[in-house]
Amino acid sequence: MILKKIQGLLAGNPNRTFKPKEMARKLGVSKTDYTKFRDTLKRAARDGKIAKDRGNNFGAIKRLAMIEGQLHVKTQGYGFLIAEDGGPDVFVSQKNMGTALHKDVVQVQLYAEGRGKNREGRVIKVVERARQNIVGIYRKTKQYGFVVPDDLKITRDIFIPPGENEKAESGQKVVAKIISWTDERTNPEGKIVEVLGFPEDPGVDVMSVVKAFDLPTSFSTGIENEAEEISTAIPRDEIKRRLDLRKETCFTIDPEDAKDFDDAVSIKILRNNNYELGVHIAHVSYYVRPGSVLDKEALRRGTSVYLVDRVVPMLPEKLSNEICSLRPKEDRLTFSCIMEVNSEGKVVDYNICESVINSKRRFTYEEVQQIIDAKPWRGKLVKEIRLMHQLSRVLIKRRKNLGSLDFDIPEVKVELDADGKPVAIKKRERLDSHRLVEEFMLLANQTVTEHVVLKLGEQGRVPPFIYRIHEEPSKEKMDDFKKFVKALGHPIDAHKKVTTRLLSQYLASLKGEPEQVIVEEVTLRSMMKAKYSTDNVGHFGLAFKHYTHFTSPIRRYPDLVVHRLLQEYGQGVDFSDAKSKKTRLEAIATKVSDRERVALEAERESIKMKKVEYMKRHLGDEFEGVISGVVSFGIFVEVVDILVEGLVHISDLADDYYFHDEKNHRLVGQSSEKTYRLGDKIKVQVVRVDVAERVVDFVLAP
Contact 70, 86 (CB under 8 A): no
Q: Identify the CATH number of the domain defined by range 2-59.
A: 1.10.10
Over residues 121-170, the pLDDT tens digits come to 889 889 999 888 899 999 998 888 999 999 989 989 999 999 898 999 99
Three-state secondary structure readout of 489-557: CCCCCCCCCCCHHHHHHHHHHCCCCCCHHHHHHHHHHCCCCCEEECCCCCECCCCECCCCCCCCCCCEH
The whole-number average pLDDT for the span 394-405 is 94
The per-residue pLDDT for range 604-645, each reduced to its tens digit, is 999 999 999 999 999 999 999 999 999 999 999 999 889 999
**pLDDT digit string (tens) for 230-267?**
999 999 999 999 999 999 999 999 999 888 999 999 99
Q: Is CATH 3.40.47.10 what the domain over 134-201 is classified as, yes or no?
A: no
Q: Is the pTM of this model over 0.85?
A: yes
Question: Torsion angle of alpha carbons 219, 222, 227, 230, nearest 10°?
Answer: 180
Architecture field, domain 63-128: Beta Barrel (2.40)
The CA-based angle 125-130-132, given to 5 degrees, is 110
Chain mean pLDDT for the chain: 91
Instruction: Out of 33-47, 249-263, 470-484, 530-544, pick the least confident.
Output: 33-47
Distance CA 330, CA 327 (A): 6
pLDDT tens digits for 180-232? 998 888 999 999 999 999 998 999 999 999 999 999 999 999 999 999 999 99
Q: What is the pLDDT of residue 64?
A: 47
Q: What residue segments make up the domains of the chain, in order of their start? A: 2-59, 63-128, 134-201, 221-456+547-566, 475-527, 618-700
CB of 363 closer than 8 Å to CB of 372 = no
Q: Class of 618-700 per CATH?
A: mainly beta
pLDDT at 494 over 80: no
At 182 the three-state DSSP class reads: coil
Question: What is the distance between the alpha carbons of residues 325 and 313, in angstroms, rounded to a whole number?
Answer: 13
pLDDT at 511: 84
- What's the confidence (pLDDT) of residue 155? 87
Phi, psi of 317 (to 5 degrees): -60, -35
Strand 252-254 and strand 362-364: the pairing is parallel
What is the predicted pLDDT for the residue at 437?
Answer: 98
Nearest to 173 by CA among 135, 131, 217, 209: 135
Q: What is the per-residue pLDDT for 16? A: 82
Rounded to 5 degrees, what are φ and ψ at 522? -70, -35
Section 42-59 average pLDDT: 78
How much is the pLDDT for 23? 87
What confidence category does residue 54 fall into, taking pLDDT thresholds of 50, 70 and 90?
Answer: low
Tens digit of each residue's pLDDT (9 = 90 or more) over 275-308: 999 999 999 999 999 999 999 999 999 999 999 9
- Each residue's pLDDT tens digit, 124-134: 889 999 888 89
Torsion angle, alpha carbons of 497, 498, 500, 505, to 10: 100
- In CATH terms, are 2-59 and 134-201 the same topology? no
Q: What is the pLDDT of residue 384?
A: 96
> Is the pLDDT at 63 greater than 70, yes or no?
no
Confidence of residue 115 (pLDDT cuts 50, 70, 90): very low
Q: Do 585 and 659 contact (CB within 8 A), yes or no?
A: no
pLDDT, tens digit (0-9, with 9 covering 90-100), for 84-100: 766 788 899 998 899 99
Q: In the predicted model, is pLDDT for residue 24 greater than 80? A: yes
Q: Above pLDDT 70, what percent of the chain?
A: 98
